[in-house]
Amino acid sequence: MLFPVKLPVGAYRVTETTSPAYMRLFHISARDATATVKVKVVTGPRCCPVPGCCLPAHPRPSHRARSLRRGPAVPFVKNPPPAALPDLVALPSWQISVSHPPKQARDFLDFAATMWIGGNGPLDVEGFRSHASPVMKAYQYFWRNGHVIGRARAGTMGFDSKRATITGTSSSSRGTRC
């Protein structure tokens, strides 16, 4: 169960332990079932807790935006090495229900799902916008030893400014095993 905890400003050590039921389900060893992390609590802005919602007190004078520096060249790869591939595993669905919307001739099966990203590398898909278009070209990046070693086209992403959401469509599953 998640719940907010208010702590005084300071440094803390937080220890979390996986329950025995999940240890058995996911074959987690006793040694790997407990983790401790350092947490630093700081004073935040005095506004809503949603990131990005705090506006500056005085707007900055408008000026012409500068172009960003080009990032390092990343080669395109057709067959990324298996040592750099993520492995997506669907965990059991939860909050499963059937809904019967009024004035609809259909019923809907609703559920939540979580994907576990295992494998040898992280899943890193990024979208790039051209000329203020709401549709972005998406690329999957492949990593080895903390460095990007290549990328492949992975479909498109779109930004819905009304709901501040990003949606994606995949044209291929290059490199990602499902």
Q: Give the model confidence (pLDDT) of 122-139 as tens digits.
A: 888 888 877 777 888 889
Mean pLDDT of 75-101: 88
Q: What is the DSSP string of 63-85?
A: -PPPPPPP-----B-SS--GGG-
Specify which residues 37 forms β-bridges with: 14
The kind and range of the H/E element at 137 are strand 135-144
Q: How many CB atoms lie within 10 A of CB 168?
A: 13
pTM exceeding the 0.75 threshold for the entire prediction:
no
Residue 37 — very low, low, confident or very high, per pLDDT cuts 50/70/90?
confident
3-state SS assignment for residue 151: strand
pLDDT of res. 162: 64
Neighbours of 110 (CB within 10 A): 11
Model pLDDT, residue 65? 54
> Residue 48: its pLDDT value, please?
53
Q: Quick one: pLDDT band at residue 142, thresholds 50, 70, 90?
A: very high
Q: What is the average pLDDT across 92-113?
A: 86
- In eight-state DSSP terms, residue 5 is -
Binning pLDDT at 50, 70 and 90, where does residue 77 land?
Answer: very high
Radius of gyration of the chain (CA): 22
Quick one: average pLDDT of 25-52? Answer: 77
Beta bridge partners of 124: 141
Tokens 């965990």 sit on residue:
91
DSSP class of residue 82 equals G
| Residues present in the chain in total | 178
Q: What mean pLDDT is predicted for residues 3-30?
A: 86
pLDDT > 90: percent of the chain: 9
Q: Which two tokens stand for residue 158?
A: 């779109």
Q: Is it the case that residue 172 has pLDDT exceeding 90?
A: no
